[in-house]
A and B are shown apart, each in its own frame.
Chain A
Amino acid sequence: MKYTVDENGFYGDFGGAFIPEMLHRNVAELREKYLEIYASDQFQSQFGNLLHDYAGRPTPLYFASRLSKKNGAKIYLKREDLCHTGSHKINNAIGQILLARHLGKTRIIAETGAGQHGVATATVCALMGLKCIVYMGEIDMKRQAPNVARMKMLGAEVRAAVSGSKTLKDATNEAIRDWISNPEDTYYMIGSVVGPHPYPDLVAKFQSVISEETRKQLSEKENRENPDYVIACVGGGSNAAGAFYHYLDEPQVKLIAVEAAGKGVDSGESAATSILGKPGIIHGSKTLLMQTEDGQIVEPYSISAGLDYPGIGPLHAHLFASGRAEFLSATDDEAMKAGLELCRLEGIIPAIESAHALAALEKMRFSADDVVVVCLSGRGDKDLATYIEYFKI
């Protein structure tokens, strides 16, 4: 079984580029050029240098001893939360801003949910001196006000998406509509492994540094490159794609994707796409999608603004359908509890997105010598208001 993208932009039955003709030229340009640019020495050296000197990579692979003791396995945290801007999103933003520059684009647009990708985009645009417009759902702007302020400080314009559910899905719609209306100078910097081909592949490649480092770090610490488990949360699925990437063809490594169950998978307020979704088209990609019988896209719910996407990346849809990855889900309550537990056990305040991955630990059975890598995709500073309200701190 092949888990990477095929020549037509598909992962098994999922993926492709179901886009209006207005986007054809820009998407085709990207498709024709991204592999060559990505493989060039110049790009690799610029990308590597910025990841190292600017983003602060490699991020530590930290052996969480107290968390390990509690769960009866050797648990390592891949510390993406220590990246510049506070999450793994910067990896992709650096890759794509270099790509945009190679393509000669001068105006950058992006969508953001929790604001982490928006902040990462605003950051690299400031770094490169490029104009930056970030679309963000009106509701998310309220939930994640500190990130809105950060983007503004970094010189970005934040535009509220007021259509539909006013969250990530709608911000993505607005960004795509902007790209349709500005086809000449604009680059669309998508934040997850979603959207039309080649975005899912290029974002996965830029995030694959996570598993590339994990392999090296594990061989130093455990004398083996492969863990028994890799656990990551999935909204669109970019940190999971990066954490899984170099293990996709290592069947002995069990890949665990954790979705947001919200108030419960069957509560009607959930974002557990693999369970609740059916194949459909969202944002130019064929994937598993939460929708009505009539094909209207359903509004997802999660306490975490980074996980309430009604689809998942087509790579993940393929990993689910093929059984290569196991999909679990964690409710709001389980994630919040796991987040606070990490604070108390390890002195690390995780993003609520990442707390969903941590919440999976309790649902699993380990042997004492199992090596488990959890991708700690982001830090929880942006979520303080939610933590404070939830725990009445």
Chain B
Amino acid sequence: MTRLSKLFNSDKKLLSVYFTAGFPAVGDTVKIITELEKNGVDFIEIGLPFSDPLADGPVIQHSSTAAIENGMTARLLFEQLSGIRTSVKIPLLIMGYFNSILQFGVENFVRKCAEVGINGLIIPDLPFEIYASDYRDIFEKYGLSMVFLVTPQTSDARIRQIDSLSTSFIYLVSSATITGNSSDFGKAQDDYFRRISNLKLKSPCVTGFGIHDKNTFTAATKFTSGAIVGSAFIRYLEKSSIDSIDRFVQQFH
């Protein structure tokens, strides 16, 4: 059983945190991962910065631009992660846009992920149809999970197709939005989470986009296995030292 699937065996509402590799400083990657694990985060999304992140709001656009200016690249990220599995036990995913991976070479990228101990990838702009026809074999060869997004506009039939292709979890986008939306969740989200829950999918769901405090975390996980906090963490890092990550994580426990 993989690190990722083991995680979903418990009833605990899982907390996942996203950060942009190379931000605030280019050398912070391992330290941030270590701090997040130490403070009880269940799994981590490492963002590979891209110049034109279509699904991201201003906060992650900014951290991405800063990270690129700091010199972060896929190659450097893999170097930084090369010893990570000697200490870090929780599942690690990389979230990146497809062009970065295409330029690295898809198979090269997936192989490097497997070598350093990455468990899965989230590539928002790689539709599952293209994944299934062109890249699935590569992911299976290296034992890497591909995580697909589902949104309130995704039809039930399409969700079932996504479910059948998923090998770890489904990433439930909370509403029609880019990342970093700070409105609270209302009835629309509740109905949507309930609708997904009623589909009785084989894959567990984790909610993301717009999770920024305890309230949104609780609402987001009422019908799902966990939630991902991204922009709120980046905003915190903009103001606070990476030595005080504990204070950020505590609010979700």
Contacts and interface: CB of A to CB of B under 8 A. Distances in A.
Interface of A: 16-22, 24-26, 163-164, 169, 173, 176-177, 180-184, 278-284, 289, 291, 293-297
Contact of B52 (A184, A279, A282, A293): A282
Given A21-B150, A21-B154, A296 B50 contact: yes
A163 B58 contact: yes
Contacts of A284: 54, 125
Contacts of A297: 51-52, 99
B194 to A, nearest CB: 20
26 contacts: A18-B125, A20-B124, A21-B124, A21-B148, A21-B149, A21-B151, A22-B151, A24-B127, A25-B154, A163-B65, A164-B52, A177-B54, A180-B54, A180-B55, A182-B176, A280-B99, A280-B102, A281-B98, A281-B125, A284-B125, A294-B75, A295-B50, A295-B102, A295-B103, A296-B51, A296-B68
A301 to B, nearest CB: 16
Given A22-B153, A169-B52, A180 B177 contact: yes
Nearest to A284: B125
A20 B55 contact: yes
Interface of B: 50-52, 54-55, 57-58, 61, 65, 68, 73-75, 97-104, 124-127, 130, 148-151, 153-155, 158, 173, 176-178
B54 A20 contact: yes
Contact of A180 (B130, B150, B176): B176
Nearest to B162: A21
Given A20-B55, A177-B57, 8 more contacts: A18-B126, A20-B125, A21-B124, A21-B154, A181-B176, A181-B177, A281-B99, A291-B99
Contacts of B101: 295
B130 A18 contact: yes
Contacts of A177: 54-55, 57, 178
A182 to B, nearest CB: 7
A27 to B, nearest CB: 10
B73 A180 contact: no
Contacts of A19: 125, 127
Contacts of B125: 18-20, 281, 284
B54 A294 contact: no
Interface centre among A21, A24, A283, A289 (most CB of B within 10 A): A21
B153 A295 contact: no
A164 to B, nearest CB: 7
Contacts of A173: 52, 54
A22 B149 contact: yes
A333 B211 CA distance: 52
A181 B74 CA distance: 29
Contacts of A294: 73-75, 100, 103-104
Contacts of A22: 55, 149, 151, 153, 173, 176
Interface centre among B54, B57, B75, B154 (most CB of A within 10 A): B54
A164 B52 CA distance: 8
B54 A24 contact: no
